Amino acid sequence: MKGKLPLYGFRITLRMDNFEKYTSPDATIYYGDCLTALLDVPDESVDLVFADPPYNIGKRFGEFKDVWPSDNAYAEWCYRWLELCVRKLKPTGSLYVMTSTQAMPYLDLWLRERLTILSRIVWHYDSSGVQAKKYFGSLYEPILFCVKDPKAYTFNADDIEIEAKTGAVRKLIDYRKEVPTPYKTTKIPGNTWYIPRVRYRMAEYEEHPSQKPEALLERIIKASTNVNEIVLDPFGGTFTTCAVAQRLGRKSIGIEFQPDYIKIGLRRLGIASQFNGEELRTLDKTYVRKNGNGIRGDSIKPTRLFDVQI
């Protein structure tokens, strides 16, 4: 693996046999397989793990095709990196994990033997890429929220409250109280989260087949960490987790093994401006899109970033 970066400030490049490590004061990127890179992270050092692995559904991530020989083989691979993630978590830490609806039962059974699963979250959205015609198409992805110690974990409920439709919109008064009081206008989100998927027209869009919305990570990071705490993402992709952690004043560690996505991470986190002599630039949306719809990127208005409803 070769990667040459101009180094400035605190930035450090470390080349090991199996991974390269790029660091800045608030973020570390490992370029390598997470099963190896995770060994470099000290045990019990991380406050939050967010893991969004390949789902075994045949997507292509750079040179890597997301297919395992069987469901069992996929689950066995997941157990290997999950074991490491659990080891890296502090005793007060939380772990959120995503996978396909069909694979989640394997992870659920495995995790409930080792951690406490507090919520089984459904992230749902408005449309899948290709519309199913002969069955009910999948419009959600499951997320497990687990903690090491159900008596000692962070949950910043006040920081993630959302509008409570009943109270805020209908302006109802609760006459059951001794003194009639207006209904609360905010509430803690339940376990079904409506958050639009990342689309080309959104400002946060990067070139990746499975980028997660910043709004999803914002809720998770705000709920389960405090400022300056450490977030670990073993499957960085476009490094959404680390980018949101940085914006929220948290520290982060992201791991990824495809060079095109490492480039996105180094740029998005401000760690480097070049990689292997290549200038790292934001995605050029000024070209006419391949689908030939004639829309020029420079006429595209970014949609609202945090378009969260419930």
Contact footprint for ligand SAM (CB under 6 A): 33-34, 52-54, 61-62, 64, 208, 210-212, 235, 237-238, 240, 255-258, 261
Q: Is the Cβ of residue 47 or residue 256 nearer to ligand SAM in the bound state?
A: 256
C-alpha 218/C-alpha 138 separation (Å) is 24
Minimum distance of ligand SAM from residue 181's CB (angstroms): 41
Q: Is the Cβ of residue 22 or residue 261 nearer to ligand SAM in the bound state?
A: 261
Minimum distance of ligand SAM from residue 42's CB (angstroms): 19
Q: Which residue is nearest to ligand SAM (CB)?
A: 237
Minimum distance of ligand SAM from residue 170's CB (angstroms): 36
Do strands 192-194 and 230-233 pair parallel, antiparallel, or not at all (unpaired)?
A: unpaired
Look at residues 100, 84, 72, 71 and name the one whose alpha carbon lies nearest to residue 33.
84
Minimum distance of ligand SAM from residue 276's CB (angstroms): 18
Longest CA pairwise span in the chain (Å): 70
Q: Is the Cβ of residue 58 or residue 180 nearer to ligand SAM in the bound state?
A: 58
113 phi-psi bin (left φ>0, alpha ψ -120 to 50, beta other): alpha
Q: Is the Cβ of residue 36 or residue 116 nearer to ligand SAM in the bound state?
A: 36
Look at residues 258, 236, 255, 241 and name the one whose alpha carbon lies nearest to residue 61.
258
Minimum distance of ligand SAM from residue 264's CB (angstroms): 8
Minimum distance of ligand SAM from residue 98's CB (angstroms): 8
3 state SS of 239: coil
What would the two tokens of residue 263 be? 């480039």
Inter-residue contact 88 to 38 (CB < 8 Å): yes
C-alpha 186/C-alpha 19 separation (Å) is 45
Q: Is the Cβ of residue 35 or residue 295 nearer to ligand SAM in the bound state?
A: 35
Q: How far is CA 179 from CA 173, 174, 175, 176, 187, in A?
A: 10, 9, 7, 8, 21
Q: Is the Cβ of residue 33 or residue 108 nearer to ligand SAM in the bound state?
A: 33
